[in-house]
A and B are shown apart, each in its own frame.
Chain A
Amino acid sequence: MSRSTVAILAVAAAMALLPLAGLPAFYDALLYLMLHWIVLATSWNILSGTTGYFSFGHGAFFGAGLYTTSTLLARFEWPFLWTLPVAAVVAALLGTALGAVVFRVRSVRGELFALLTLAITFVVGTIVGNTPIDGGNGVSLASVPVPHLGPTQSSTFYLLALAAATLTLVVARAIFFSRFGAGLLAIHDDEDAAEVMGVPTYRYKLVALAISCALAGVAGGIHALFLSYVTVGEVFTITVPLTVVLMSVLGGTRHWAGPAVGAVAITGLLYSFTAADHAVAGKAAIGAILIAALLSMPDGILPRMQRAWRGVTHRGAKASASVAPTAAAPAPPPSSPAVPVAGDVVLRVSGLHKRFKGVRALAGVAVDVRRGEILGLLGPNGSGKSTFINVVSGHYAASAGEIVFEGRGLVGTPAHRIAAGGIARTYQIPRPFAHMTVLDNVALAAMFGGGIATPRAARDAARQWLDFTGLAAKADAFPDALNLHQRKFLELARALASRPRLVLLDEVLCGLTPSEIDSAVALIRRIRDQGATIVFVEHVMRAVMALTDRVVVFHHGELLAEGRAADVMQRPEVMTAYLGRAHA
């Protein structure tokens, strides 16, 4: 068990003894509310903070749990504690159903998701209010006995919320430092790139939403008994989601404990205003604090404090580390895969079509890629080269045709499966995960494409790939501190870390200086020497001549020529395609 998990449990155990000290009931209630909001804010953050899919439907999930417990208590007279798991399940089911619909639509990104989940709050509220679940009059739980967990009734609620908050924090922390959490954070920065790197984005979002909803459901269940009288108008409002968002944004969404910090701060603040009878002023103050926090600390309190702390301890330690990557000092590759059987067809593409609303990007392309070769993919701009890579890597679905990799058909396979199955790609314009260090960028690929289970082992592997590509000095930098050359090499390091048998390189040399091109060419050779097969889209003819065993030329989405580079480029139809027809 990690140190901070032990710390959470120790603090929780100490706090569990508080009721024995005989605090006034009024403190129990304040502490209950703080813990209650810690559960809600932290659970919200499990999906929304990590992936950036801000849910405004937390009120609906919380309300689903709340009404589940109330119904089971009031109508079926269940014992209270037994209703909580059911509340969690009902809320999770509601979330999963919503997610299954919404996450399937590719165009639903952050803002739209926020508003759709907001809509769910009112839909669920309307249904509950109009059916016998509530009936429009609310449900009274006044006659339901409160279990005797603490010396007093209020201390019982405090202990229940404490248990829920502990559970939530332990879960949130575990997710944050797992492979799952790394995948969620990658979705936040670039969902498409994450999917191509092997993160099962759809399933991850769905699971995160389900966990988040289940915890909110538990909080709702406890709150039902705490309120003892529940109404639709009080539960299914916009207040719950907005308060939760506010707390998380204030505390910091990219840290597992950020929302908890925000929850304690806001609850305390609200309390001090209402206690002093300034509820209206409190509303205005919260608004003002939100605005001030957004303008001054866009990342939240906790990350801001962490950065300040790191600035104090690390200053000067890094002054010496500013080296450009060089492929001159070849580090030994981490471990070489099985020696390939040269010559057999590793990727067979036949009759491949891709249409974009009438535009034919690929019109019946057939290409065989042989194991161990470097195949150059040439053609003028707009000839379908990048589309080919996008279709093979699963980013676009093929309109027709077959793609067979090592005997398995890839058409219809989601991109993350293709990545895990041994195909990696780079982007022409590098797409690093902006909020992750260079090391973590590579470790992510090692975890998902490369199949390494734990983040720690993945980081070790990633270090070796950074050595291999000459980026070791930049391991702790963020991508925006890299120049173009380094970003391109980072793309390569990420592709390599997924241990691919086939690498699709999309114009890695574009924009580099001649000497940078030389070092990149040397690196690509060494990648092949490790046993990977390479498909190489490129315009830099010097590199094409030097590297490729064979080239294929695309033109208007069709295969124009195929053969050795030196021969193919002499053919009249190829010269016409590149340079246009000579008019007499």
Chain B
Amino acid sequence: MPGFTLPSATLLAQSVLSGIFVGALYGLMGLGLSLSWGLLRIINLAHFAFAFLAAYICYQLASHGVDPLLTLVGIVPAFFLLGVLLHWLMARFRMTTFNSLLLTFGLMGIVEAVIQTIWTADFRKLESAYANQKFKLGALFFPVPELITLVLAVSLALSIWAVLRYTDLGRALRAAAEDPAVAAAFGVDQRRNGLLLAGTCAALVSIAGVCIALTATLAPSQMYAWIGVVFAAVMLGGLGSAIGPLVAGLLIGVSEAVTMAVTAPSWAPIVSFTLLIVVLVFRPGKAA
């Protein structure tokens, strides 16, 4: 068993901060997943592959001198189309929720193979003008790429929340998720809305991918490492919720970081799942 040593206040504060940064990325990854599961009844494992594909494309463009954030201009529409295309296929074959999980897992394997063929299984790290920039506030360090991630995660979650809550499109999407037949009777075009939402989910996850490229080291097999934590955030946050995954992601990120600081880094994976199981057992209505 690891020794429980209490770290200094500064170290602890820095851990909490890094937990917030990692948690924001969990939330951003979970956003599209949650919308797709909650509103389209499709569990899209391929989102993890899409994120890494976007990350590698960003890496590739950045190594040719393009600013990483500028790559979003091309990446976002491209992944929107990819999402639309995939959803069209799913709708065409009337996938059940469970088969969607298996089908997108198959797709994940294919994308992983494609990435491995193009970029090999070696670790890659994006180099950019601000990759190593950080500024100091008091005793704490704020790395710039992580700050960008945090800002993107919060603003995207808030805008999606606003769209779902205040626009006709959002209302139609929520209605269709609750009762497709009745929504259709009220004139909701579920086919179009479904394609639109699936495209948006894929676009969102591609933005998460760019953030991964900015903050983490890339390897094709790394995509599997995210599945567990991000799903935990999605389920804790509530399916179909825009803000939930972010809040849950931050909670998980901070708990992980503190656990790592107090015990040892190798214990981190246990945090999110213990949280999930505890919530499920004591508040079964809350999760999913």
Contact = CB atoms under 8 A, between A and B. Distances in A.
A118 to B, nearest CB: 6
A118 B231 contact: yes
Contacts of A118: 227-228, 231
Interface string A274-309: 000000110110111111001100100000000000
Interface in A114-155: 114-116, 118-120, 122-123, 125-127, 129-131, 136
Interface stretch (B55-63, B74-82, B184-192, B263-271): B263-271
B277 interface: yes
Interface string B69-113: 000000000000000000000000100011101110111111011
Given A111-B98, A127-B270, A298-B99, A287 B113 contact: yes
Contacts, number: 114
A280 B120 CA distance: 10
B99 A112 contact: no
B107 A291 contact: yes
B288 A129 contact: no
B109 A284 contact: yes
User: How large, as a class, is the contact surface on chain A?
Assistant: 35 or more
A565 B92 CA distance: 53
B106 A119 contact: no
A116 B232 CA distance: 9
Q: Is the interface of B mostly helix, strand, loop or mixed?
A: helix
A119 B117 contact: no
A30 to B, nearest CB: 22
A106 B280 CA distance: 11
Interface residues of B, number: 43
Contacts of B112: 283
A284 B264 contact: no
Contacts of A129: 266
A208 interface: no
Interface in B262-288: 264, 266-267, 269-270, 272-274, 276-277, 280-281, 284-285, 287-288
A54 interface: yes
B158 interface: no
Contacts of B267: 126, 130
A377 interface: no
Contact of A123 (B98, B231, B273): B273
A105 B235 CA distance: 15
B104 to A, nearest CB: 9
Interface of B: 1-2, 43, 93, 97-99, 101-103, 105-110, 112-114, 116-117, 224, 227-228, 231-232, 235, 264, 266-267, 269-270, 272-274, 276-277, 280-281, 284-285, 287-288
Interface of A: 52, 54, 101-102, 105-108, 110-112, 114-116, 118-120, 122-123, 125-127, 129-131, 136, 237-238, 242, 245-246, 249, 280-281, 283-284, 286-291, 294-295, 298
Given A111-B97, A112-B235, A123-B270, 13 more contacts: A52-B98, A108-B284, A116-B280, A119-B276, A123-B273, A127-B270, A238-B227, A246-B102, A280-B116, A287-B110, A290-B102, A294-B102, A295-B103
